[in-house]
Amino acid sequence: MPPPPRRVARRAAARTQACACLGCFAFLCQAFAFVNFYYRSSPTTSATAVPLPTARPSPPPPPPSPVPKTSKISAAEPHDAKPLSSSVIPRLVHQSWRDGGFPKDLFNWRWQKGLLDLNPGWQLMTWTDASSRELIAKEYPWFLPTYDAYPAYIQRCDAARYFILHHHGGVYADLDIECSKPFAPVLEGHRAVFSYKQGTNMSRGLVNALFASEPRHPLWSTVFNLLKARGAAGASASTHVDVVRSTGPGLLREAVLELQSKGQLDAMGVHLLESSVWHPIMPEQKRGRDLSALTAAAIAASHCYHHFVSSWMTHDKERHQSTDKQRGASLSAGGSAASGSHRTSQNGTTVPLGQGTFVSARSNRSPLL
């Protein structure tokens, strides 16, 4: 007996529903297989978000390079001093003493230390009597007879410093020079630098306790000719003035005046400093015979100044009495002895004390240095 029609219909619906489910399941399986295959073959294998690359942190700045210290070498050692940025004057300081020792009873060690601290990267070359003579014997044998014939020790010291700077270049500074500012600002752009002396005492001339030049500067040829000529004429050392004129500031002054009269200083790159820069006071001021306020003001405004130890002279009252007496008479004649603020120049006019007298290299009038 055949089943009822309603049951047949339910069975057909169930088969249809089962087929539909199987079809959906097969479709889902195929879809899953396709998606799985696609993602496996794709470069991007993960559906998670990839973070954007962040900027690398900048490396820490390098530590500042240490400031080069001033090295100290003897005259027997080679130097590698480099010239200044806009000058041909090398970063080299020369100082000299008899045996190379440091006479603490005459010179304050802080003067040399301050000079070194103010000029980092420079080299200090120390000289002795023996190394100075060796330089002249080796490099300037034509001058050795004159050098050895000088009757006074200070004359050999004066002459040696000129040959030292001609051979090496740099800055020559006596041991009694104290500086408060570096050399570079004064030397930049020049081939040789000299300073006028302050005052009108027996030592007037160009300062030979502190000066600078490039190696082989042509000015030194004029200085050497004068040294040779005055040595041949008999370089006396009987008086202070004899020494000044034969080898000291007076001779240096004459060499510059000779070149100035020929109009050659500018072409040679020679710079003449006002006395207020390197030589702001007179010996009488340093020995306390002038108003301390004026002396302090002059020193404060300067780059360097001279302590006037004058180790080659006898330090007694009689030795300086004549010069100081002339100074007092000049001040009185100028009408300013009471104030102490002026001095009398050679032409009778008064100029402020501590300011010096500066005549440029282009001047037609030769200055009294």
pLDDT of the residue at 127: 95
What would the CATH number be for the domain defined by 71-352? 3.90.550
Give residue-wise pLDDT tens across range 46-87. 434 445 455 566 666 665 555 455 566 666 565 666 665 556
Least confident of 93-107, 110-124, 355-369: 355-369
Query: What is the radius of gyration, based on Cα positions, of the chain?
Result: 43
Question: Running DSSP on this structure, what letter comes out for residue 197?
Answer: P
The kind and range of the H/E element at 26 are: helix 5-41
Task: Tell me the torsion sign for CA atoms 153, 158, 161, 167.
Answer: negative
- Distance CA(300)–CA(312), nearest Å, equals 28
Least confident of 180-189, 275-284, 324-333: 324-333
Measured CA to CA in angstroms, residue 337 lies from 176, 296, 308, 331, 360 at distances of: 29, 19, 23, 5, 29
Give residue-wise pLDDT tens across range 253-272. 999 999 999 999 999 999 99
User: Strand, coil or helix: what is 286?
Assistant: helix
- Distance CA(257)–CA(145), nearest Å, equals 27
What the block records as the tokens of 272 is 């003449």
Q: In the predicted model, what is the mean pLDDT of the chain?
A: 72
pLDDT of the residue at 52: 47
